[in-house]
Structure 1
Amino acid sequence: MTSGLPLNTTNPIYTIDESRFGKIVCYEQTLLFEKREQKGWESGSTLASSLPFFITQLFVANLSYRIIYYLTRPLYLPPFVAQILCGLLFSPSVLGNTRFILEHVFPYRFTMVLETFANLALVYNIFLLGLGMDLRMVRITEIKPVVIAFAGLFVALPVGACLYYLHGNGHPEKITSGCVFWSLALACTNFPDLARVLADLKLLRSDMGRTAMCAAIITDLCTWVLLVFAFASFNKAGSWNHMMPWVILTTFIFVLLCIYVIRPGITWIFAKTVKAGQVGDTHVWFILGGVVLCGLMTDACGVHSITGAFLFGLSIPHDHIIRNMIEEKLHDFLSGILMPLFYIICGLRADIGYMLKFTDKFMMVLVICSCFLVKIVTTVVVSLFMQMPTRDALALGALMNTKGTLSLVVLNAGRDTKALDSPMYTHMTIALLVMSLVVEPLLAVAYKPKKRLVHYKHRTVQKIKGETEFRVLACVHILPNVSGVTNLLQVSNPTKQSPLNVFAIHLVELTGRTTASLLIMNDENKPKANFSDRVRAESDQIAESFEAMEVNNDAMTVQTITAVSPYTTMHEDICALAEDKRVCFIILPYHKHLTPDGRMGEGNSSHADINQNVLNHAPCSVGILVDRGMAMVRSESIDKTFNFDVIIDYYNVVFKYLRLENFGQLTLKLLLILIRRHTQSAHRASFLTDDTVKVKDLF
């Protein structure tokens, strides 16, 4: 140490020794329960016991992570980068070796308390990882993701072992055990972080995005299998475990227990409770208690406790409402409050200064670059062999380098078993940071759509010819939006010569726990999204309503789609889908809804923002339907009567859309919206504010 407390100090409270495996701290057992003199209302320091110190550490960890996260967001850096940087901030080479941090923030004597809560958070976080993984994507996947996953994994493993030997660090007695964890950390791909990157870049709907998702799931599952073998192969001293066959056998028995006992049992219990309408918090606590119980069982088997938590998460029925209840109660608390403690522990273990003493600088850079390139080159070569476009192959290679919590888990497992010493652990942590740094910025810059959106005037309702297919994108947020939209679609009067092709899109908010996706719901070959039962039932009802409209009209085709995305970027999904499907008209529901007394309610401000963003960025005509619940359609009558309130961008849009020459009687109220130019570079749809709206009653 260059500052702070000296090594082998004579302080009677604790002694410190340092080796290549880190610091060894010995302190008196009574230190955690130090007695303080108390006189009346006066007492000693409140930080002399473990609980106040833990609260302080929790506050510092969360504050540091939030600051770093918001500083890195404009750079398109994934949260994993902020997590590693937060940990490295308190490493011995940065702030962790200062006297203030050692004495008042992260003292040695309270490290065990910090690690206990960090590991508990890790167990539940891994449980959520298994809970959110849909294995049905593996069952229906094509051969291409399987080949890419296995090629990237089984090429990266031997290359990682070679790099470990190249960076042997002068300690050959630990190379055999260390190369296993080193190679696994290099080869694994973190599925949740990859899904988030694809969602941020709007690539989940692409063929490349679906291939990357399936390949990431397969890679994760293979990594877990190999990690179990690694846990079983080496003991706590980093040497060969002679009990390995028994460890593998008992772990395999636990896997069978999860498949044939736990999963059917949970399915049966919840089927009974759901039928009786009794699903509540008690069932959530039952599942959360089962997490630590399964972790205890796998720990007793000889592997890490996170293995049991992961398998238990996979055992929960995927379509059950309990999944969403657990995620709602656990996800934000874990990821936002407790998990930063785990990253702090990872940072406290990484000592960059100590690593530089035993590592050749050129060799360190060479190994980091090689770690980054091995999966990219392998994935690109295999993807090109599978006849993927060059740009998609390069993007897929970068995506398969996405790292996350699982990589840190592998490194910490090697550190705990003394398979990795401090320099090797620090070196690989920096390599993970570098690999994660370049993934999302590289994709954001390099992977852009091949073609720009067609200019607004070239694909509008005004430009459509009389006897051509008319394509409409109809958007709904909730089930009550459907009736007004379907009535409006029916009055478009489609014919065999001019059919109507409707793309009905159900807009669902991404809550941060669901993998964002855009899925064709009526295609049996596509995987279903991980929706709650309520959202799934609502999507099914919406799809049935539009399909019933299709059955009643031979000149109309309907395709129902569910889009899951944050409200802030939902307009991008709508505009991208409008471009992909080459639609001429987008129908959006008005953000205010009719109240029982016949007035318009306050409405949803997020829906209003979506409408305004679509108006600003749409590649075609846009109409906002104000449904007052009075629309009438009499298809069986010769005398057709319709009442509608429509907000459109140009009045002749409605005349083209409704094909008025075919109607006997029409009552139409049309609102003409005049948009003022606020800036020279952009227009704002100002109908949402009263001071800039001019309304003319044309009829």
Structure 2
Amino acid sequence: MPPPLVSAGLVNVTYNSSSERSVWVCERITRFERFTKGVFFGDNPLNHTLSMFILQASLVCLFSSSFQYLLSQVGATTFVPQILAGFIAGHSVLGNIRLFGKLISTTKPFYVCETISLFGSMLFLFLVGVKIDPYMVIKTGRKTWAIAFCSCTFPVLLSIFFIFVLRRLWNPESEIYESIFFIAIFLSSGSFHVTAGFLEDLKLLNSEVGQLALSLSLLNGAVSAFWQTVITRLISADVKEHNNSVTLSTIFLLLLTIFIVFVLRPIMFWMIRKTPRGTPISEAYMVSIFLMVLGCSLIGEVFGEHYLLGPVILGLAVPDGPPLGSALVEKLETFVTTVFMPIFYFSSGVKCNISLIDGHSFAIVQPVALFSFVGRVLGTMLPSMCCNMSLVDSFSVGLITSSQGINHLLYLQSCLYFRIISEQTYAQMMVSLVWLTLVSTPIVKFLYDPSKSYLSLSKRTIEHAPPNAVLPLLACMHFEENALPIINLLEMSHSTLSSPVCLYALHLIQLKGRSAPFLKVHQENTMSNSLHSSQSDNIISAFKSYQNQNMGNVMVKLFTSLSPYETMHDEICTLAADKRVCMLITPFHMQWISGEVSKCANPIRKLNRNLLKTAPCSVGILVERGNLVWNNPLYGVFFYSVAVVFIEGSDDREALTYAMRMANHPNVRVTVIRLVDPCDRITNSFSEDADSDLVLKFKDNYIQIKRHDYREELVRDSVELINAIKTLESCYDLVLVGRCHENKSSLFTGLGDWHEYPELGSIGDMLVSPDSAFDGSVLVVQQQRNTGVAQNDFRLDSSVYSKHTNFAPPV
């Protein structure tokens, strides 16, 4: 007999199955008070709602982090560890244990947890909308539309054909066939955010395959979201009982969309106009946006729409990128993805009871899921191959666009709520989501390497560039302060009509507030008014002024790249390969001019290391100490004093070749300082002959010019090497040094143990170390390495290469 109603709460637990069972559960209200008195007062904390919720959230976050650590080794996306954590913490695993089952299955704390998870999913999908650029649909070409159409229709047709065959051959009276068609259509759907997250986890956002997959998933996601919403409305039992309400609900949805687009979106643009450039968005504006999200969700619930529709539409209406879109993502994303979403996966896992799955239904549903997956892969792969894409790349695109994620899970829960599918079907679908995603990720990681497209190119260096031809250079910039040093370097490169320099200036911006990266090409005599391009306005103006000042002698092409730091090197290398540049120049991660280290120093340093390993051309890291900023060639004529520290090796030859081009400039004085170890001369090696020939060429062509100089210094050990480097202090505006030296002598003995910046090599590290009094700028040069193979990390741990190591030397 239940206790009196004054001390008991009656909770209606409805299982959304085909039989529409309802179970009434009686629980003592006193047992689930909000707060606990504590164990020292004889109270059990697990008998209270707040304590139970914290325990549930802690368990799922712990499991999610553990699975993420283990499965990241095989390239699994974040979706798989989180959904597995929900399985473990739900009825399927811990729920079967008597002690944990009582804790997890307690009714009131679970509904509190589920409510919070739904609130988190609302914020999550709002952020998804913020990151999406709807104009990408307009920008896609005909081939992308054709591939997207095939990837939508082919899996549906193939899976439905398989269902008809299966129904004729095996147990046609099974109840599972009632929802099998919906399963097939559901698994054939796509999602832009799922694909973007997949690519971000695999660090493929900037790759050619990643760009195509994003465009396809945007089209597929829009189509899938439309017809899934329509199917959910038409099949839902509640809708069938109230047919007249469907029309009113649809009209209201259109009115809500119009209100968001024509009222709330202009308000957001007004907020942006009121925010001074370069300053963060006001907290009052952020609170206003948050209230808009809650209001749109509430209005949707009041008029019978899904609570997620309003926030998603509002997110699409938010202007992406800085200052508003990026600020929203920066403030909300970490907390939502690391706290709210694990709770959402926990509530999803609790609803999934794998014990309901029987062998017969499993043998029907999982092959259908496999055929839908294969059909989606083939539907993307075959038309891609018809568009002259390679087999590996087209197969990778098919696997990426077939990935499953959070959007599929949300639609699945909606179908469970509207009784379109049963609990057994829900569990079957959850299993298929996990294993299909878990299988496809390692295959993509193993098959596709974006660096293969540019590492197999022929040698492109300044040393091997044809004389009196256009010298293409690529210069990267992160901040406005990087522009003037690059302009000075361009001035010293001595671009003339007979031997011009073509500079591709690339402004790099970290991807914030959107999912898809992009590369903006700035046309001549135009200035883009987009929010992202406006950050490049000062850089564009500086380079255009310099080009106009040297009309006919200098060619400058301007680009802006918006991408995450983890994959930014792919964007740079792809552009370098496409433009066939001989050297790319990138700034050092530290800035001495302002006296402060940028907050982006660590990502920029990692970017430079990735460029040293994968660049399809020579790489120069420019360490600016102030000399190239104080000199401004836009407003006057300046004289530059340049030195080259030459020891031996391909990197030193590349640096000397670049300096020989600078020596042709009438306002540049070049001094070559060759450091020679008298005890370790190898006169018969190819490297030594190439070194001597290049040095002899410099002496023959430039020493007779009085402003240039050449000298040799004998150094016997690392102490004398350091003393020779100290003689450069306060003498030169710019010093060019090679990064690596193929030397087995004792010159570099012990130096590698004291490297603070291995990416600069031994000489560069000595020049910029805190103990050095050298105040000039340094350009550390690395000549292009082996073609077709990315460089090993050991070269970034020590700049000195020993001929006695077990690693093969570069060619």
**Counterpart in 1 of 2:396?**
395
SS of corresponding position for 2:480:
coil
Structure 1 stretch 639-648 or stretch 383-392: which is displaced more?
639-648
SS of corresponding position for 2:435:
helix
1:216 aligns with 2:217: yes
* Aligned partner (choices 672, 680, 688) of residue 757 of structure 2: 688
1:461 aligns with 2:483: no
Q: Contact 1:238–1:419 (CA<8 Å) still a contact in 2?
A: no
**Counterpart in 1 of 2:590?**
592
Q: Contact 1:204–1:517 (CA<8 Å) still a contact in 2?
A: yes
**Counterpart in 2 of 1:653?**
655
- Distance of aligned partners of 1:600 and 1:360 in 2 relative to their CA distance in 1, 3 Å threshold: closer
SS of corresponding position for 1:664:
coil
How many angstroms apart in 2 are the aligned matches of 1:40 and 1:387? 69
**Counterpart in 2 of 1:642?**
640
Q: Contact 1:592–1:604 (CA<8 Å) still a contact in 2?
A: yes
Structure 1 stretch 254-263 or stretch 119-128: which is displaced more?
254-263
| 1:197-236 matched pairs, under 5 angstroms | 197-199=198-200, 203-205=204-206, 207-235=208-236
| 1:247-262 matched pairs, under 5 angstroms | 247-262=249-264
| 1:264-279 matched pairs, under 5 angstroms | 264-268=266-270, 270-272=272-274, 279=281
Q: CA deviation at 1:137?
A: 0.7
1:306 aligns with 2:312: no
How many angstroms apart in 2 are the aligned matches of 1:39 and 1:348? 28
SS of corresponding position for 1:462:
coil
- Distance of aligned partners of 1:436 and 1:240 in 2 relative to their CA distance in 1, 3 Å threshold: farther
Q: CA deviation at 1:410?
A: 0.9
**Counterpart in 2 of 1:521?**
521
Q: CA deviation at 1:169?
A: 9.4
**Counterpart in 1 of 2:291?**
289
**Counterpart in 1 of 2:145?**
146
Q: Give 1:61's aligned amino acid.
A: V
1:547 aligns with 2:544: yes
Q: Give 1:487's aligned amino acid.
A: N
Structure 1 stretch 106-115 or stretch 487-496: which is displaced more?
106-115
| 1:311-326 matched pairs, under 5 angstroms | 311-318=313-320, 321-326=323-328
Per-residue CA distance 1:454-493 (angstroms, 9 max, x = gap): 589x322222221122111212221111101111112211
- Distance of aligned partners of 1:196 and 1:677 in 2 relative to their CA distance in 1, 3 Å threshold: farther
Q: CA deviation at 1:155?
A: 4.0
SS of corresponding position for 2:463:
coil
SS of corresponding position for 1:505:
strand
Q: Contact 2:280–2:323 (CA<8 Å) still a contact in 1?
A: no
Q: Give 1:521's aligned amino acid.
A: V
- Distance of aligned partners of 1:411 and 1:161 in 2 relative to their CA distance in 1, 3 Å threshold: farther
**Counterpart in 2 of 1:376?**
377
How many angstroms apart in 2 are the aligned matches of 1:328 and 1:80? 20
How many angstroms apart in 1 are the aligned matches of 2:645 and 2:297? 58
- Distance of aligned partners of 1:140 and 1:618 in 2 relative to their CA distance in 1, 3 Å threshold: closer
Q: CA deviation at 1:588?
A: 2.1
SS of corresponding position for 2:479:
coil
**Counterpart in 2 of 1:579?**
577
Q: Contact 1:673–1:687 (CA<8 Å) still a contact in 2?
A: no
Per-residue CA distance 1:144-187 (angstroms, 9 max, x = gap): 222322332244445556667868998888966x4675345313
How many angstroms apart in 2 are the aligned matches of 1:312 and 1:460? 50
- Distance of aligned partners of 1:277 and 1:142 in 2 relative to their CA distance in 1, 3 Å threshold: same
- Distance of aligned partners of 1:170 and 1:61 in 2 relative to their CA distance in 1, 3 Å threshold: farther
- Distance of aligned partners of 1:119 and 1:334 in 2 relative to their CA distance in 1, 3 Å threshold: same
- Distance of aligned partners of 1:290 and 1:227 in 2 relative to their CA distance in 1, 3 Å threshold: farther
**Counterpart in 1 of 2:482?**
481
1:421 aligns with 2:415: no
SS of corresponding position for 1:521:
strand
Q: CA deviation at 1:596?
A: 6.0
Per-residue CA distance 1:31-63 (angstroms, 9 max, x = gap): 376469979961411221211111111111111
How many angstroms apart in 1 are the aligned matches of 2:36 and 2:623? 72
Superposition CA RMSD, Å: 4.1
| 1:607-618 matched pairs, under 5 angstroms | 607-618=604-615
**Counterpart in 1 of 2:713?**
none
1:86 aligns with 2:85: yes
Q: CA deviation at 1:253?
A: 2.5
Q: CA deviation at 1:133?
A: 1.1
Q: Contact 1:86–1:343 (CA<8 Å) still a contact in 2?
A: yes
- Distance of aligned partners of 1:412 and 1:475 in 2 relative to their CA distance in 1, 3 Å threshold: same
How many angstroms apart in 2 are the aligned matches of 1:207 and 1:40? 59
Q: CA deviation at 1:249?
A: 2.4
Q: Contact 1:188–1:223 (CA<8 Å) still a contact in 2?
A: yes
**Counterpart in 2 of 1:191?**
192
How many angstroms apart in 1 are the aligned matches of 2:605 and 2:457? 24
1:55 aligns with 2:124: no
**Counterpart in 2 of 1:537?**
534
Q: For structure 2, list consecutive stretches of 5 or more residues without a partner in the other structure.
A: 1-7, 671-731, 745-750, 768-773, 779-811
**Counterpart in 2 of 1:126?**
125
Q: Contact 1:676–1:686 (CA<8 Å) still a contact in 2?
A: no
| 1:158-169 matched pairs, under 5 angstroms | none
Q: Contact 1:37–1:44 (CA<8 Å) still a contact in 2?
A: yes
1:628 aligns with 2:625: yes
How many angstroms apart in 2 are the aligned matches of 1:96 and 1:316? 42
How many angstroms apart in 2 are the aligned matches of 1:18 and 1:250? 30
- Distance of aligned partners of 1:427 and 1:630 in 2 relative to their CA distance in 1, 3 Å threshold: same
Per-residue CA distance 1:364-415 (angstroms, 9 max, x = gap): 4422321211211222333345555444432322222022111001110111
Q: Contact 2:517–2:561 (CA<8 Å) still a contact in 1?
A: yes
Q: CA deviation at 1:546?
A: 2.4
Q: CA deviation at 1:343?
A: 0.9
How many angstroms apart in 2 are the aligned matches of 1:233 and 1:595? 65
TM-score, length-normalised on structure 1? 0.84
Q: Contact 2:90–2:352 (CA<8 Å) still a contact in 1?
A: yes
How many angstroms apart in 2 are the aligned matches of 1:432 and 1:298? 29
Q: Contact 2:50–2:109 (CA<8 Å) still a contact in 1?
A: no
Q: CA deviation at 1:322?
A: 2.0
**Counterpart in 2 of 1:7?**
none
**Counterpart in 2 of 1:3?**
none
Q: Contact 2:455–2:614 (CA<8 Å) still a contact in 1?
A: no
SS of corresponding position for 2:402:
coil
How many angstroms apart in 1 are the aligned matches of 2:655 and 2:435? 52
How many angstroms apart in 2 are the aligned matches of 1:616 and 1:275? 37
SS of corresponding position for 2:627:
coil
Q: CA deviation at 1:208?
A: 4.1
Q: Contact 2:380–2:394 (CA<8 Å) still a contact in 1?
A: yes
In the alignment of these two chains, the number of paired residues is 674
The alignment-based identity, stated in percent, is 24
How many angstroms apart in 2 are the aligned matches of 1:254 and 1:207? 37
SS of corresponding position for 1:264:
helix
Q: CA deviation at 1:76?
A: 1.0
Q: CA deviation at 1:353?
A: 2.2
SS of corresponding position for 2:557:
strand
SS of corresponding position for 2:355:
helix
How many angstroms apart in 1 are the aligned matches of 2:150 and 2:158? 12
How many angstroms apart in 2 are the aligned matches of 1:633 and 1:19? 72
Q: Give 1:582's aligned amino acid.
A: R
- Distance of aligned partners of 1:322 and 1:365 in 2 relative to their CA distance in 1, 3 Å threshold: closer
How many angstroms apart in 1 are the aligned matches of 2:384 and 2:587? 42
SS of corresponding position for 1:51:
helix
**Counterpart in 1 of 2:801?**
none
How many angstroms apart in 1 are the aligned matches of 2:132 and 2:644? 43
SS of corresponding position for 2:420:
coil
- Distance of aligned partners of 1:390 and 1:635 in 2 relative to their CA distance in 1, 3 Å threshold: same
How many angstroms apart in 2 are the aligned matches of 1:120 and 1:470? 57
Q: Give 2:260's aligned amino acid.
A: C
